[in-house]
Structure 1
Amino acid sequence: MTRFWVGGYGPDMGGDAEGVGYLAVDEGRGASTLAYRGVAGAATSPSWLAQHPTLDVVYAALEGEGAVQAFARSGEQSLRPLAPPLAAGASVCHLTVSPDGRMLVASCYGDGRVVRFGIAGDGRLQPAAPDKAAALHAALFGEADAETDAAGAHPAADPYPTPAGEEPRASHAHAAVFLPDGRIATTDLGFDLVRIWRRDLTPDHEVVLARGTGPRHMVMHPSGHLHVVTEYSCEVFTLASARDGSWSVVSATTASPVAQVGVDTCAELAVSRDGHTLYTALRGGNTISALRVRGSGEATEPLALADSGVDWPRHHLVHEGVLLVAGQRSNTVAALDLDERTGVPRDVRHVTAAPAPTAILRAR
């Protein structure tokens, strides 16, 4: 049996999820047996889930509470909390764990915070440590550094001036990914930034995208390129690292020629196992767009568009020739067949009920 954990929105976020859910597929019988099997671990709106690289531990972003919590596997389809939740920031919406399993980075949409937590040997989260530079500043000058938050991440600044008559924009951190050299890339949807951090979460440099694009999620391509999908402009930007370690945009394309900016909003970005295809979701039109990866990963182009089989496709996961799609508003998860040769999404093979699903994670 193949198992998946499912994150979802609870009553505090307008949904019906009672915690981290459990999905399963019967071995040898395929995606048509996909079914929601109940609550694995009680939690309040665990909207994003991340897996420890070596331990059977799952981390949940409790978006409504603005907290993160670690869960350990306690049975075939159950999770137990390792400790009480730890505060992260307003509307924490994404988590990523370092490849060595020693650090977790949380992105907070509500206040723009990027927060670093240590991870103990048993997988427990350790409180975010204050920034060393801020502590030194406070010691020298007797005051807190207003430019550094308590978790050690420097707040983003809008690279664009505020037009006359408009309110200033707000920072909205949305996702993070660990880069091959150990640094961290994060998106700021509100300020149109991809921010590059050193491992201690001090800023390295920034990549500024066009105003109003809204970078949301990212995926590292096997080639070493970083693909970024934008929520507002419905585009996929490809970034590459130069010899000096600086990142920059090398190409951009529309997520789909029929995407309607202002109606559609892109959500997740996933890559096929062979690296030849990217998949993003267009909420609004409720479609899945496949993009072909060109050259050595430095460019993409729209390949095909398919029905997602759900309403408001918030997240999707590639698994053994099938794309699993979480429909936040339809309270369903759909399984789409993928063409073995081209990677193009085909028919919706199966749909199962699931309460307000927002993230799907393959269980260990």
Structure 2
Amino acid sequence: MRFLTGGYTADMGGEAAGIGMLHAGSADTAYVDGALGFGGDVIAADSPSWLAAHPTRDVIYAALEKTGAVQAYARTGESTLVPLGAAVPAGAATCHVAVAPDGGSLLAACWGDGSVVRMTLDAEGRPTDPRRAPAASDPYDAEPDVDAIRAQVLGATAEEAGEVPTARPSRAHQSRYLPDGTVVTTDLGLDLVRVWRPVDGRLRAHQQVALPRGSGPRHTVWHPSGHLYVVTEFSREVFVLAPDATGAWRVLGGVPLGGLAGDTGAEIALGRDASFVYLGLRGSDTMAVLRVRGGGDALDPVALVETGVVWPRNHVVVRDTLLVEGARSHEVVSFTLDPRTGVPGRIRHRATVPSPTHLLPVR
């Protein structure tokens, strides 16, 4: 099986040259339990940190993080890409791109300025007409500023006391299209999961769901039971969300992932039959394994295992194999998953890949 690899290039302190190609086992099968091998660079690009594929056309989209833009590429062969038009500006630190299931649009999430940007895709798959969705509002901005109050009580202004109250920055980090057409996005800076309804070519804000202050919701995965699982970067937890009978979204519960103080949560992925959830922790460089319970509304910790890489930023599950990339150790490793416990075994294969940030399966 083949994977396109996104990565950080020199403009973000990385060693990648652009989009690369990873081979896992035989290129002509859907299994990835064989040897890993980096096939080299497919095309040069500036920090294509996240990749997405068009659902029906041979087009790949890259979030050019440092540039703050989305670039489309046409696949001209099994391991060749050519630019499809010019890069389209999105916003500061564009870190994620998601393509609508009907192939008519895409969403770019911008970590630097909090923008969620919708782009129309033309008949060839080129992104056009970028439109910024309404900005998020901080659900905690009404809380009293303890430092400012303390400064006033002491007879000094907040600035004189060395504490200047500032607004928290919005940090959009991921977008996801749900089966019913709803769109959810995460805002790592404002601790929000935002729910949207696409209307007449625009995103209409439907609801903001607040997670605990300082938790930092990063990425999501949709469970077939109808629940959304959200991993948080700062508090190292996973939260379960779902709409109630009225359509209003609610937080049903949360589970700590463990790890070490100072760890940051990264990626979240479901196992093959959606019975297990896998979550990466950067710092301790471990993988948390959770079992899905009940009707999908509960998660139980199973194990916390070493990944054998440094800074596991992204991982994917393909059948009974877990692939984990180490962004700072410049490698991708594979594990076989125990079908009964869901726990990864020993590392089976390893390949050197420069500064990898994302793995995208391709045919």
Q: TM-score, normalised by structure 2?
A: 0.90
Out of 219, 229, 232, the residue aligned to residue 234 of structure 2 is 232
Where does residue 158 of structure 2 map in the other structure?
none
Offset of 1:234 from its aligned partner?
0.4
Matches within 5 A, 1:294-313: 294-313=293-312
Does structure 1 retain, via aligned residues, the 8 Å contact 2:272–2:320?
Answer: no
Tell whether the 8 Å contact from 1:291 to 1:301 is kept in structure 2 after alignment.
yes
Structure 1 distance, partners of 2:195, 2:311, is 30
Amino acid at match of 1:18: A
User: Partners in 2 of 1:323 and 1:204 — Cα distance?
Assistant: 35
Report whether the alignment pairs 1:66 with 2:68. yes
Supply the distance in 2 between the matched residues of 1:311 and 1:57 (Cα, whole angstroms).
31
Superposed CA offset, 1:8-59 (max 9, x none):
0000010011111100123289544111111112211000011111222111
Q: Distance in 2 between matches of 1:311 and 1:25?
A: 20
CA separation in 1, counterparts of 2:58 and 2:220?
25
User: Which of the numbers 109, 113, 116 marks the counterpart of 1:114?
Assistant: 116
Secondary structure of 1:12 counterpart = helix
CA distance in 2, matches of 1:118, 1:45: 23
Match of 1:157 in 2: 137
Contact 1:334/1:348, CA 8 A, preserved across alignment: yes
Question: What code does the residue aligned with 1:121 have?
Answer: A
Larger deviation, residues 186-195 vs 76-85? 76-85
Deviations 1:234-291 (A, max 9, x none): 00000011122211111111123xx234x11000000012110110101000011111
Question: Are the aligned partners of 1:152 and 1:202 in contact in 2 as well (CA < 8 Å)?
Answer: no
Is the CA contact (8 Å cut-off) linking 2:35 and 2:350 kept in structure 1? no
Q: Which residue of 2 aligns with 1:201?
A: 203
Counterparts of 2:249 and 2:349 in 1: how far apart (Å)? 41
Deviations 1:131-176 (A, max 9, x none): xxxxxxxxxxxxxxxxxxxx24111111113623343211000001
1:309, 1:351 within 8 Å by CA — same for their partners in 2?
A: no
Deviations 1:188-220 (A, max 9, x none): 000000001111212111101110000000000
Q: Secondary structure at the match of 1:104?
A: strand
1:12 corresponds in structure 2 to 11
Residue 121 (structure 1) shift: 2.0
Cα separation, 2, equivalents of 1:264 and 1:175: 20
- The question of 1:35 aligning with 2:34 is answered no
Segments of 4+ moved more than 3 angstroms? 28-32
2:175 alignment partner AA: A
- Deviations, residues 284-332 of structure 1 (Å, cap 9, x unaligned): 0001111111111111111111111210000000012111111110011
Aligned residues of 1:118 and 1:125 also touching (Cα < 8 A): yes
d(CA) in 1 for partners of 2:224 and 2:22?
28
Note the C-alpha offset of 1:64.
0.5
Counterpart-to-counterpart distance in 2, 1:90 and 1:152: 12
1:188-267 paired onto structure 2 within 5 Å: 188-199=187-198, 200-256=202-258, 259-261=259-261, 263-267=262-266
The equivalent of 1:47 in structure 2 is: 49
1:98 counterpart (93, 97, 100): 100
Q: Is the 8 A contact 2:138 2:190 kept in 1?
A: yes
Q: Give the match for residue 152 of structure 2.
A: none
Residues 75-126 of structure 1: CA deviation (Å, up to 9, x unaligned): 1211111111000000010111111111101100000000001111221111
| Percent of aligned pairs with the same amino acid | 50
Give TM-score, length-normalised by structure 1: 0.90
The 3-state SS of whatever aligns with 1:219 is strand
Structure 1 equivalent of residue 151 of structure 2? none
Gaps of 5+ in 1: 129-150
- SS of the residue 1:362 aligns to: strand
Q: Which residue number in structure 2 is paired with residue 285 of structure 1?
A: 284
CA distance in 2, matches of 1:298, 1:54: 33
Task: Return the letter of the residue paired with 2:67.
Answer: E
Q: Which amino acid aligns with 1:231?
A: E
Unaligned stretches of 5+ in structure 2?
Answer: 149-162
